[in-house]
Amino acid sequence: MMPFVETVSKIDFPHKVDQQKVKGYAKEFFLPHFPQAERLMSVFDNTEIKFRNFCKPLETYVSHNTFQKRNTEFVRCALEYSIQAIEECLTKAQLKKEELTDIIFVSSTGLATPSIDALIVNQLRLNPHINRMSVFGLGCAGGVSGMAKASALATANPDASVLLVAVELCSLTFLSTDFSKSNFVASSLFSDGIAACIIKGDNHKTEQQIKFVGSGSKLYYDSLDVMGWEFLDSGFKVLFSSDIPTIIHQNVKEDVSAFLAKYDLELSDIKNFIFHPGGKKVLTAYKEALAVEGDFLKNTRETMNDCGNMSSTTVLYVLDKFINDGFKDGYGLMLALGPGFSSEMVLFEMNNP
């Protein structure tokens, strides 16, 4: 029994901004309070990010807003743009909304109770008996974990039509009172993204040929401080370590090889690498550690160049690029790293119709 990815939809926000414009704003904002900013401005160029996907106009982020106001905007934007992505997904899949059996909502950048999936069900008038799952706190790894969870549900129920929605509005977590190096570096990387996917059980007929084979997770002991949030009265303070590329160098090849061995596969069997980019240093670490021939991270790199790091949603934008631009027949590996420190992997069998 092999569930499959029916379709993916993503949001390109109307406030997409050139990275150089963001750099100018950051310099003006940080320099009076963070003298190192002048010396570190090259960080914005070294990311190789050309554009940033933002849910609101750039100038709104430098004014002081309370956590309450920012989180209220998170709920509003998350719902509005999730609905847009879902409706596009349903149209592409030629699926009636009443046919959705499950909804999984993934995010780490805002809070809501009832959770956003409940708001979506209410506004779209989905089946009130739909099975709901809300996942918070997996950060950049959440998109891959969400795909694994959606596929597990579709494996258990071959008649399932599972809706996966990932929302990360990283820009709304920006603390205008935090002049730390971490916040400065984060201001050069993180963006906003919303993606929706429909995963179906194999009782459904399809022309799409991206089939789920298996998934794997790993939590690295004693690495809790590598990536995450510190929750303050003022909001979410970003925490991430410069050790991430080192962790990749030390672990990723062995971890990927061990995961693939469960399916009697080797790294050379993977034809499509659907990776979360992280940043330029992370991409370099992947290339050096895995030593795969050719530009195997082209779609990942181009997605980062065009949008920035959109946390959990980024890997779904990368998957959408594979679907639209074409993929090679064979296996596909989806991979992302996140807080914990942790890794998530999904194995696909990908064949063109």
| Residues with a known catalytic role | 140
Please tell me the distance from the alpha carbon of residue 54 to that of residue 63, in angstroms, as a whole number: 16
Tell me the C-alpha distance between 15 and 38, whole Å: 26
Assign 3-state DSSP to the chain and report helix, strand, coil percentages, each to 5.
Answer: 40, 25, 35
- Cβ count within 10 A of residue 38: 10
Contact 227, 239 (CB under 8 A): yes
Report whether 275 contacts 337 (CB < 8 A).
no
**Rounded CA separation 116/108 (Å):** 12
Residue indicated by tokens 């399932």: 160
Place of tokens 């992997």: 345
Q: Which tokens hold the place of 352?
A: 């063109």
Residue 235 has phi, psi (to 5 degrees) of 140, -150
Closest CA to 278 of 128, 102, 143, 150: 143
